[in-house]
């Protein structure tokens, strides 16, 4: 679940930061199971981040936004998602 996010990510998704909190992270993916699969295979904080290319993210049926995402774990074991916006079509 989303424990925190920066204001830029919330604005990029077109939603308030407060509404994102406590939402399942994998539920932000529009189609597919890429986030769910990466979360299952994500190691500990010492492992390298995993990258998901050109993933469509949205909040509860909103307009999809496309990003390359990096997922890793912090020292407390929480998942960190870093999204880098990209165009829908290269």
Q: What is the mean pLDDT of residues 65-70?
A: 95
Q: What are the residue ranges of helices labelled H in 1-90?
A: 7-13, 17-20, 34-41
**Number of domain units in the chain:** 1
Percent of the chain with pLDDT over 70: 99
In a domain, residue 36? The reply is yes
In a domain, residue 17? The reply is yes
Characterize 20-44 residue by residue with b for buried, 16 or more Cβ atoms within 10 angstroms of its Cβ, and e for exposed. beeeebeebbeeeebbeebbeebee
In a domain, residue 90? The reply is no
23-to-3, 58, 60 alpha-carbon distances in Å: 8, 12, 10
Cα–Cα distance between 15 and 90 in angstroms, integer?
Answer: 25
pLDDT score for 57 = 95
Mean pLDDT, rounded, of the chain: 90
Q: Which of 57, 69, 3, 6 is nearest to 30 (CA)?
A: 57
Q: Quickly state the pLDDT bin for 90 (edges 50, 70, 90).
A: low
Residue bearing tokens 């932000």: 28
Q: Over the stretch 13-55, which tens digit does the pLDDT of each residue have?
A: 999 999 999 999 888 999 888 888 888 888 877 888 999 999 9
pLDDT score for 89 = 75
Res. 8: pLDDT tops 90: yes
In a domain, residue 45? The reply is yes
Res. 68: pLDDT tops 90: yes
Structure tokens at 11: 């604005």
């Amino acid at each position: 679940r989303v424990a925190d996010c920066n204001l830029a990510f919330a604005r990029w998704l077109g939603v308030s930061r407060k509404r994102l909190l406590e939402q399942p992270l994998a539920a932000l993916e529009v189609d597919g199971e890429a986030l769910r699969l990466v979360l299952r295979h994500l190691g500990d904080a010492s492992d390298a981040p995993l990258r998901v290319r050109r993933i469509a993210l949205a909040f509860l049926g909103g307009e999809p936004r496309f990003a390359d995402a990096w997922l890793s774990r912090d020292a407390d074991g929480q998942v960190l998602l870093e999204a880098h916006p990209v165009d829908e079509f290269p």
